Structure 1
Amino acid sequence: MNTSPFVDEYVSFLNGFLRDDAKTLDVVFDCSSGATGPIMEALREKGKRKKEKREWAILNGQPDGNFPNHAPDPLHAGSLRALQKSVVSNGADIGVIFDADGDRVFFVDDKGRFVDPDVVAYLLLWSLRPNRFVTDAKDGWLVRRQSLDFTRDESLLGAKRIAGKTGHYAMKHAMRKNGAEFGCERSGHYYFKNFFYCDSGIMAAVAVLNALARLPYALSEFVDLLPETYRSPEINVPVSSSIAPAGLFAHIERTYKKDAKAISKIDGIAMDFADPDWWFNVRLSNTESLVRLNVEARDKATYDAQLKKLTTVLKRGIK
């Protein structure tokens, strides 16, 4: 079957969302030898046909299921290396890396530094200005409070945040149910009402380029302006497939309840604390025999101490 008419139509659809000033950014894309390569090549060529200055370099654009240059997961050790080097050596404005099937996307700034997904989500909230948006339980203060002053539970951007569960179905369902225009997960999934409520790495990349074109400074400068917190990666703890989650979460709640200022059980258990200022989320993986843990704190001492304690509490609850 000749699929080129469908590709052309899809590329035209995507190009329609790209602002004119975003089309002149110097960008390096890494398609991870996956599905996005042919689409990004076509999107770049469409700009050339219109005689626009589209300075896009594409790495690993040829689909290859052997993944000869790096792992299909951008977060796998070493996967970002070529992109970071190319961004710095070419003086690019931003680097973009898709996972192999294109539903996740991650970014590096003009200095080649990995950009935390919370920062990406905040940038998109600032640019898209949705009335409502959905997040999962792992998104941090920057996204949840939409403020550069984390001591205040007051939104700077004014969007109504709807807390949802992790996962494709749950996020789309929450967006439709609540009339949300945007959704984000810390795992690099971004959902758009104008993309059929689906997650799309390419659509998210287009939205980030549009946002970057509107900033009065470089992406690295934007990142450096944001308040610093201490944020864990998602920590995975192996558990038995027969674990009783209700018992585990009850054990955690009993341990911390008297000090918590807020408790959420939408996805596992999440608890916020005021003194010292920190929060955590513990949930079961949807796909593996793992408990997943996320922690954020205002200072390193609190982060180190609370992460150590919570890990101990968690392991005791698993036994």
Structure 2
Amino acid sequence: MHVFHPSILRRYDIRGIVGETLSEADARAIGRAFATQAAAVDASPSVAVGFDGRLSSPALEAALVEGLSDAGASAVRVGLGPTPMAYFAHAHLKTTGMIQVTGSHNPPDHNGFKMMLAGKPFFGGDIERLGAIAADGAWADGQGSRRDEDVSDAYLAALDGGFTPGGRPLSVVWDPGNGAAGVLTERLIARLPGRHAVINAAIDGRFPNHHPDPTDPATLRQLQAAVAEQGADLGIAFDGDGDRLGVIDGRGRILWGDQYLLLLAREVLEAHPGAPILADVKASQTLFDEIAAMGGKPVITATGHSLIKTRMAELGAPLAGEMSGHVFFADRYYGFDDALYAAVRLLSVVARLPGTLADWFDTIPRPLNTPELRIDCPDEKKAAVVDGVRARLKAAGAEVSEVDGVRVSRDGGWWLLRASNTQAVLVARAEAPDQAALGALVDEIAAQVSREGLDPAALRAAAGLS
């Protein structure tokens, strides 16, 4: 039997602090329990296994493979690389499942596991069953096999296939942030037209230059400086495992996930008129309005890459994205979140614009909005707080979307409050046509969470308001 630390089995993946809540023994148990579940799908299961560049990843990967083998599975080791390469290996090699050892965009001492089984996200109840199998010691026994498989050439060819020739040559600066996509980024740009430069390409699990999370503006400063220095058209950033995309234009301005998704949607809707385009509940209303104006069907979804992939498959959607930078292409691709592929598609669109990316950015509506506002809240209280806020809003007759938490429409704007799936926090966001209206919405959020016994004192400062 094996019991995991209660904090690491999360809704979408498994994450912990190495040496505190996550160990090699956990990795071995994860492999063995996952192989047991895979055996219910395939009598001779095979599992593609990859790992990111964190210092703890090789040892965790080795223990994981041992666990898979002990339960009779064939471990197909695709090696060091971004999570999307492991997703690709699962599809390309037709394995029963896949596991990537990765801490994603978390701090260097964190690590974890992202999984798929039979072509579908492995999350929620799947992860709960994995924990139960380990706790009961109800796993399969067997003698599996292990082999190495280099899929990098095939993966690069698939990425290259996302580029549509034509348009003007671009100057691009890339920043993998010393994450797992560094080596492949250097190989990828050699296949693309235009002028390209890479900073922080060396894979280094200590992340010596900046934390690899392109949703944090502070992590993009080095890229902004490099774009300015080189006079580049745009900059591309990845997170630690290459499934989140960051974009800045030639003037150093950040394009958030809902903004560059709008540009990507235009090309996709030309090929798929009237198709559903998905974005998470944190996205700007501008995105949904503009998708509708282009003839698409905007769909608001719950936040979370596994939920979005599942919903895409249900609706047959060719494109989806979320504010965290995950972009999902089912148009000419596999439907999983791949920041490298999304970057290639973006470059091919930008190259064919009548002007620069910065010129296009000037043309789109840009209401004022806050960054993600985080309010500390114990895990066991999060759902109750959101439920309490929801009940008051509905009693007051407010216009509320309940797709994920509560999204409240107000005159020309909206605010959101939802429970984080990965941290002991509530996440809030607001959007409004002007500063005064934005401040009023943030004050309304503060008043609501205060009535639930939480301290909203830092909200206005975090929102950039006085």
TM-score when normalising by structure 2: 0.62
CA distance in 2 between counterparts of 1:2 and 1:135 reads: 31
Q: Which has the higher contact order (CA 8 A, sep 6+)?
A: 1
Contact 1:238 1:291 in 2 (8 A): yes
2:298 to 149, 154, 161: 161
Shift of residue 159 of structure 1?
1.0
Output aligned runs, 1:15-30, within 5 Å: 15-21=160-166, 24-30=169-175
Partner AA of 1:188 in structure 2: G
Secondary structure (helix, strand or coil) at the match of 2:236 reads strand
Partner AA of 1:282 in structure 2: L
Secondary structure (helix, strand or coil) at the match of 1:199 reads coil
Cα-to-partner distance string for 1:193-240 (whole Å, 9 max, x where unaligned): 143221111111112112211211111111111223111111010112
Q: Please state if 1:39 is matched with 2:184.
A: yes
CA distance in 2 between counterparts of 1:77 and 1:87 reads: 15
1:214 to 336, 348, 352: 352
Secondary structure (helix, strand or coil) at the match of 2:283 reads coil
Contact 1:183 1:190 in 2 (8 A): yes
Contact 2:176 2:237 in 1 (8 A): yes
Secondary structure (helix, strand or coil) at the match of 2:313 reads helix
Secondary structure (helix, strand or coil) at the match of 2:380 reads coil
* 1:146 matched residue in structure 2: 290
Secondary structure (helix, strand or coil) at the match of 1:41 reads helix
1:224 to 353, 362, 372: 362
Contact 2:382 2:425 in 1 (8 A): no
Q: Please state if 1:265 is matched with 2:405.
A: no
Contact 2:386 2:419 in 1 (8 A): no
Partner AA of 2:355 in structure 1: Y
CA distance in 1 between counterparts of 2:164 and 2:446 reads: 46
Shift of residue 247 of structure 1?
5.2
CA distance in 2 between counterparts of 1:293 and 1:68 reads: 30
CA distance in 2 between counterparts of 1:107 and 1:2 reads: 28
Contact 1:28 1:96 in 2 (8 A): yes
* 2:223 matched residue in structure 1: 83
Contact 1:248 1:318 in 2 (8 A): no
* 1:170 matched residue in structure 2: 307
Contact 1:34 1:64 in 2 (8 A): yes
Contact 1:252 1:317 in 2 (8 A): no
Query: Gapped runs of 5+ residues in structure 2?
Result: 1-76, 80-148, 455-466
Over 3 Å counting, the alpha-carbon distance change for 1:238 and 1:304 in structure 2 is: same
Contact 2:171 2:232 in 1 (8 A): yes
* 1:151 matched residue in structure 2: none
CA distance in 1 between counterparts of 2:180 and 2:424 reads: 28
Cα-to-partner distance string for 1:21-78 (whole Å, 9 max, x where unaligned): 368211100010011111111112234xxxxx43110111111101111112234463
Query: Gapped runs of 5+ residues in structure 1?
Result: 48-52, 148-154
CA distance in 2 between counterparts of 1:119 and 1:180 reads: 19
* 2:459 matched residue in structure 1: none
CA distance in 1 between counterparts of 2:172 and 2:231 reads: 9
Shift of residue 299 of structure 1?
1.6
Cα-to-partner distance string for 1:283-303 (whole Å, 9 max, x where unaligned): 100011111001111121111
Over 3 Å counting, the alpha-carbon distance change for 1:259 and 1:298 in structure 2 is: farther
2:434 to 299, 315, 319: 299
Cα-to-partner distance string for 1:119-161 (whole Å, 9 max, x where unaligned): 11111111221511221111111211116xxxxxxx2111112
Q: Please state if 1:137 is matched with 2:137.
A: no
Partner AA of 1:133 in structure 2: I
* 2:323 matched residue in structure 1: 186
1:196 to 334, 337, 348: 334
TM-score when normalising by structure 1: 0.89
CA distance in 1 between counterparts of 2:163 and 2:395 reads: 47
Cα-to-partner distance string for 1:234-282 (whole Å, 9 max, x where unaligned): 101011222162453333442475463x321111111212xx2211111
Contact 1:252 1:313 in 2 (8 A): no
Greater displacement, 239-248 / 33-42: 239-248
Name the count of aligned residue pairs. 304
Contact 2:258 2:279 in 1 (8 A): no
Partner AA of 2:238 in structure 1: F
Q: Please state if 1:249 is matched with 2:387.
A: yes
Shift of residue 99 of structure 1?
0.6
Shift of residue 113 of structure 1?
1.4
Secondary structure (helix, strand or coil) at the match of 1:243 reads helix
CA distance in 1 between counterparts of 2:325 and 2:249 reads: 16
Taking only the aligned residue pairs, the percentage that are identical comes to 30
Secondary structure (helix, strand or coil) at the match of 1:198 reads coil
2:422 to 262, 265, 287: 287
Shift of residue 88 of structure 1?
1.2
Over 3 Å counting, the alpha-carbon distance change for 1:226 and 1:76 in structure 2 is: closer
CA distance in 2 between counterparts of 1:269 and 1:157 reads: 27
Over 3 Å counting, the alpha-carbon distance change for 1:233 and 1:78 in structure 2 is: closer
Secondary structure (helix, strand or coil) at the match of 2:151 reads helix
